[in-house]
Structure 1
Amino acid sequence: MSMKFLCLLIFFFSLQSKAIVFYNEWTFDFEKKLNVACFEQDGDFCHRLCGDFEDCQVDEPVCENCVANNLLMTKIFFDMGREYVNTYEFAQNDELLELLRSGEFVSLDSRSVYNLVTGHDSARVQEGFQSLCYNGVGYPLVLFSTKRNRIDKVKFVSCGVDTFHMSDEPNIDFENAKANLY
């Protein structure tokens, strides 16, 4: 593949993708925060979320049934990428805003403190999460909705600057979905 073609391909993909990046952190007060970084073309997203055009920090309530070694959490961490899959359908900003403004969500990645199943950032769990993204993102972030501070439905996966819908119905034609991405 020529370098010129590769550069054009990267430029085309960058025009199609959003420029919003999600990452989570725990504070020293044991509060969880979802951080959102918006780049120029999607600065309006951050502005609508928190009033700033570049960065937001959203409080994430503790998920009560996530803090346990239960069957649901075992299923989530063991079956990420198999039962919980990326649809490769881009998430719309309004959908993301609705979920984040509601405060009824939990974000998980392979390093999650909620992973009491396999240990922090185990290779098996990391592989499952990384399989959600085609672009080699080290720590994809999966957003679930919650009801009454209990995990409910898988919603989105953040793959770097691209955020997609997720499904817990693994019978999706991935190759066709990926081919129709751009």
Structure 2
Amino acid sequence: MPSVILETDRMLLRAFTEGDVDDVLRAARDPLTQRWLPIPAPGQPYTRSDAVTWCVETAPAIRATGDGQQWAAVCRETGRYVGSFGLVRTNWAARVTEIGYLLAPDLRGRGLAPEAVVAVTRWALLDQGFERVALKAATANTASRRVAEKAGYVYEGIERNSMPLHRGRTDLAVYSAIRPDLAG
């Protein structure tokens, strides 16, 4: 995928840098993040080394290999880290991909996640020619499900027992966006 900066009213979405490590570490270690995202792997604590690897190796490699694209979202006015947004599990032949994200804990509930999800979705569907972007969230993760709804994604159903967590497994609520959904 091409390296690109996306802009919203309040944010710039840009490539990760080594300067993002401490912010990524704080966001990834947050108890609510850890409840819903089994990063770096189920049952393993997120370390500074994991954050360094993410920022300088993994995120750039995802783009370089075509598996997806990852952005560090920062406030346009202050440059402050807002969160991580990205496309994963990209299937080029089918022209489908999946969006994932996490937000800095103290910035939740301000509409920043839906704003960034809309920008990434529009880029994927309109600029890159994808046919579908999926968004999956644990069924009990009501905040993430609200992000999907506010961003205009359509609810499709439940993938049962679909994802491991740090403790146990969860069903995933599946949402999607296709080009006609962008008109709404």
TM-score above 0.5: no
The structure with the largest alpha-carbon Rg is: 1
TM-score, length-scaled by structure 2: 0.30
Which structure has the higher relative contact order (CA within 8 Å, separation 6+)?
Answer: 1
